[in-house]
Amino acid sequence: MSADDQRLIAECLQGNTAAFGVLVRRYQERLYHSVYRLVENAEDAQDVVQEAFLNAYQSLDGFKGDSRFFTWLYRIAVNTAISFKRKHRALVHLETQNNGEYALEPLDPSAASRPEHALEQAEQQMRVRQALARLSPEHRAVLVLKEIEGQKYETMAEILQVPIGTIRSRLHRARLELRELLEKSEQKE
């Protein structure tokens, strides 16, 4: 843990709430992007991040400093996102359109410059997002942590507070389930 984080936590525990505000500003954007990948809705991600920071503030005296502050905060946020997804499972929102803009260079002879390539990429990304949204919160969390965030098994186990064997098992099952969902999606087309 950085000395600055330690100092800010100590100040916060002594009653200086502005010190926690510094930590929020420092980690808010990074945490938001991670949570957004789990809940796939900007407003929900903001709510989850806000709740995670509130939980962290209320539990700050329980932070032992065994891990980096961000790792501890990240674990709280992931668990908050999983809880959120469980509560809102019946309200799964599937994005039906892609609002992204694609700049195509007509002089570029590569396959990526073909106009249909951008559309194919957007469709594939939408299928993956839709399939991820159908996974259980636990399976989605391990896939996001490993495949999108690039976390190590040890870090994932620490964040999710489960043994490494459980992480590997969930990741294996999640990949199989995602593959099956994507294959079904492709067969429908």
Decide: residue 184, CB within 10 A, 0-12 exposed, 13-18 middle, 19+ buried: exposed
Enumerate domains of the chain plus CATH numbers.
1-93 (1.10.1740.10), 97-189 (1.10.10.10)
**Mean pLDDT, all residues of the chain:** 81
Question: Model's pTM, two decimal places?
Answer: 0.57
pLDDT tens, position by position, 28-72? 999 999 899 888 889 999 999 999 999 999 999 888 877 788 889
96 pLDDT more than 60: no
Q: What is the average per-residue pLDDT within 2-7? A: 86
Q: Is the separation of the CB atoms in 46 and 29 below 8 Å?
A: no
- Nearest residue to 72 (alpha-carbon basis) of 2, 170, 143, 147: 2
Residues near 162 by beta carbon (within 8 Å), at least 6 away in sequence: 170
Q: Per-residue pLDDT averaged across 133-160, rounded?
A: 89
Q: Distance (Å, rounded) from C-alpha 16 to C-alpha 92?
A: 40
